[in-house]
Structure 1
């Protein structure tokens, strides 16, 4: 029998890791709820035509397709072989696959809104915390199965939504203790850049190439643009655009000078100024220092139409730990046009890696059992069980060692599980109505009455 293993890009999570991840989940969920968002869940798989064509050429390649049932039926052999040939040639075939694992939470959300539009109270604010799957090359911070935490608003054009989503990002990372840069751009400015370079039909080519800037560098971006049919003169314009620098005010001025003659650029600049205006130091908040205009930010997904986000953690080599933006006609892909929307996403797995590397998890967040009752015999364990249930009813996490064993074995069990307290109830304590409480962390112990145990401070 071969040694068991995991699929590449996936991981098991032990108790300590799960508790730390739950700490991140609960922090994000608390902030979402504070801002009036309500929970939603969608299936792990979607119909293939729901997903395909929504993420751009690069994204579509990363969708995990699910084989249809019955492909191993000998009666379907010829049909299956023909379907595989179709897929190998770059085409989809419903005889082979009609479903896929969800690539993100935004497109399934848009599908949900389209299917339930008449029942929703608009604007509809939802959050979703579920795993997604991508057939990407696994590396540090990049997995094939990972969680996303999304918050979206549909049915409103107001830029106050972008203001609040920016504040949500800042609040969550402040609570988690992660210093971040909240990077903003606007797809309308990128559309103006495309128009300046020959037409809006070049937008996808330009944004797809720019989105790789951090990974492959400027020269290779220029090379990719040339391969996509962008002229040398246009590449020089894009190079000038990508060299915009300074503080937020200076960057806006430079973009205004370069693209201000285009209406889309004017609109994009106005929207950015609106969001920045709500997060100035003179408005009594401290978010302004973490908000950075980054005009190299492109977000390769084609459905974004306005302000876009990307979150970078300071002090650690890691890709983005969050991103999102406005997508004013996403539901139009599903037959319900003209429904404005905007949303953000948290990359929980990368956030976890950042917090581990920087040592940001609070002490005790991974603690499970607080109190271990030693098992010293049948009569003793019966009384210990009664006392343990009283503690559990008060919310104290307890367990009793299942067998009557030597002290050394039970002490080792508590040590390996990092249980901070043990309660010893032997024949003497049973007769006297007492019990011994040991604080393993501080190496102290005291004898108290059994009736006082429920009020003991296990801290």
Structure 2
């Protein structure tokens, strides 16, 4: 019996049209990354579990896809000591995992080749990542991340450049109503209990998802004191433009060491971003923005769009201690990651794919005359040699069927070599958009196609 075809939940196929559109997005993003001096990097899908664990926080690690060891691991799996404790069992049966993000593999790569890398290291990386999350719209188990990071500099100018980079990409993609929310982890550190700061940020990161009341309940359940909760409630009420928010923050937490440093950093970053030409109002300070990943230590960023249910389109921030875990001591970095799948959904929602070319083939050669086969094959080779993306209908069939094929594939031009054309050593060229067709010699045909398709030979 034939298998019923199905997809793993949270995974997707991409149709030809979707691939064209994704490539359009990626070409724009890559060109802007390159204009900022970022260089490409790729890392493997599989990483050692020791590389991945201990970097994302407890909730992040629960979403990691672990890969079973090769060979017989049943003995460890059925051991009475470990049978009821999955945390102890995991490393016994799994020593690898699918990458959860692109930042940790980046730091592992840098640590392995730090003596050959030129710092500050500007790299971009466009590859899929995997998370064992509950699938829903805008949240998949496999998705494409598009990262840009600057590693090896503590200068706040790096953060300012990241903000302008995000703006340039969103503008080039013609996104409407986008905002870049920013905050500094020092703002939250100033009100959190020091030994529980990471837990605090993980819970606060759920504000938009579960609401303020449920966040308060979660903080109480985690034994956070009333002062911390009251301070968070105060931050939640802060309103105004960036200048007004900085004034309110100064009055509230400016007396603390982490608070004053965070306020100073935010002020400097916004000033430098303004100097780079970032329009006023593009960035909005959000005092409760946390970003859930445990390795962030400074500025955090999140890209959102008004009036959509898709959620954030990307996020990032400053990390200062991640390299230490791999022996790359003192290598701080800052980066941002676009979620391409959510970005695609938004662009589709805003009807922004109109300029995307949706065909690969420029010219179709019809196949209707047996004695013309050799001449057709020669023509096919010549067209390809001169840069025209060309295909031949593989079997002889009625012209109506072949024209229907060209129409379905959105092929702009069709060349017909029938009995009459073969006898006259001419070719009939049909424009599939206008329906107009005329007969031409080879040189005339070549010139016309070159002009119409913009092919330079």
**TM-score under structure 1 length normalisation:** 0.93
1:315 deviates by 4.0
Match of 2:60 in 1: 59
What CA distance in whole angstroms lies between the structure 1 residues aligned with 2:28 and 2:321?
A: 31
| Alpha carbons of structure 1 residues 370 and 313: separation in structure 2 relative to 1, 3 Å | farther
Match of 2:331 in 1: 339
1:239-388 matches, within 5 Å, as 239-280=233-274, 283=275, 285=277, 287-388=279-380
- Give the root-mean-square deviation of aligned CA atoms: 1.8
Match of 1:33 in 2: 34
Match of 1:169 in 2: 166
How many residue pairs align between the two structures? 449
What CA distance in whole angstroms lies between the structure 2 residues aligned with 1:326 and 1:81?
A: 43
| Alpha carbons of structure 1 residues 83 and 428: separation in structure 2 relative to 1, 3 Å | farther
Q: Deviations over 1:306-356 (max 9, x none)?
A: 111110123422111111111012110112221111111111111111111
Q: Deviations over 1:7-28 (max 9, x none)?
A: 1100111221111111112111
Note if contact 1:276-1:288 (Cα within 8 Å) is conserved in structure 2: no
| Alpha carbons of structure 1 residues 284 and 123: separation in structure 2 relative to 1, 3 Å | closer
Match of 1:238 in 2: 232
**TM-score under structure 2 length normalisation:** 0.94
Q: Deviations over 1:34-68 (max 9, x none)?
A: 11111111110111011111101110100000000
Match of 1:149 in 2: 146
Match of 2:111 in 1: 114
| Alpha carbons of structure 1 residues 88 and 439: separation in structure 2 relative to 1, 3 Å | farther
- Residue segments in structure 1 that go unaligned for 5+ positions in a row: none
| Alpha carbons of structure 1 residues 401 and 68: separation in structure 2 relative to 1, 3 Å | same
What CA distance in whole angstroms lies between the structure 2 residues aligned with 1:370 and 1:287?
A: 41
What CA distance in whole angstroms lies between the structure 2 residues aligned with 1:232 and 1:187?
A: 20
What CA distance in whole angstroms lies between the structure 1 residues aligned with 2:84 and 2:45?
A: 23
1:80 deviates by 3.1
Structure 1 SS opposite 2:6: coil
Which has the larger displacement, 378-387 or 354-363? 378-387
Q: Which of 429, 442, 455 is 1:437 aligned to?
A: 429
Note if contact 2:32-2:168 (Cα within 8 Å) is conserved in structure 1: yes
1:72-221 matches, within 5 Å, as 77-82=74-79, 85-86=82-83, 88-179=85-176, 180-194=178-192, 199-221=193-215
- Residue segments in structure 2 that go unaligned for 5+ positions in a row: none
What CA distance in whole angstroms lies between the structure 2 residues aligned with 1:318 and 1:241?
A: 25
Q: State yes or no: 1:391 paired with 2:389.
A: no
1:6-45 matches, within 5 Å, as 6-45=7-46
Structure 2 SS opposite 1:7: coil
What CA distance in whole angstroms lies between the structure 1 residues aligned with 2:280 and 2:373?
A: 59
Note if contact 2:107-2:322 (Cα within 8 Å) is conserved in structure 1: yes
Q: State yes or no: 1:223 paired with 2:223.
A: no
Structure 2 SS opposite 1:95: helix
1:86 deviates by 4.7
Note if contact 2:191-2:228 (Cα within 8 Å) is conserved in structure 1: no
Note if contact 1:80-1:96 (Cα within 8 Å) is conserved in structure 2: yes
Note if contact 1:279-1:288 (Cα within 8 Å) is conserved in structure 2: no
Which has the larger displacement, 271-280 or 30-39? 271-280
| Alpha carbons of structure 1 residues 267 and 284: separation in structure 2 relative to 1, 3 Å | closer
